[in-house]
Structure 1
Amino acid sequence: MLRQRVEKVIEEKIRPALTRDGGNIELVNVTDDGEVHVRLQGACAGCPGARMTLQFGVERILQQEIQEVTKVVPV
């Protein structure tokens, strides 16, 4: 299932980097068309670089690992 694969990548490759900087990420939803909805938490929630983190960090890693991911959407 796509959601489980996304959760695994977040847990193993994305969350550790965010927690080192005092932040975290919550997986909210994965749509049938490959949109991944996430919520940044902790230091990441109000960070001016959050958009860059989502686009060049979270989205890039998810798309490299899982072909079906089309984009990451903050909620």
Structure 2
Amino acid sequence: MGMDKLKLTSSEIGTLWGEYVNGTMTDVVNRYMFSIIEDQSIKATFEDAIKTFAKQKKQIVAFIENEGFPVP
């Protein structure tokens, strides 16, 4: 059986779903903090976090959609 034929387990789908929900909530908070922080070194950290989650979100969405589940 090829790797493209493997299905995720319900536990894996649940974990992805939870990561998506928690990540998007954290992303909203990070974007707000980024908008109000004045210290540039701290602001850069929040910018990195926003960029990192954007990449992760694409991967999570791809996994969920490939399994035929709706994205939360």
Structure with the bigger percentage of helix: 2
Q: Structure 1 length normalisation: TM-score?
A: 0.36
Question: Relative contact order (C-alpha < 8 Å, sep 6+): which is higher?
Answer: 2
Normalising by structure 2, we get a TM-score of 0.38
Larger radius of gyration: 2
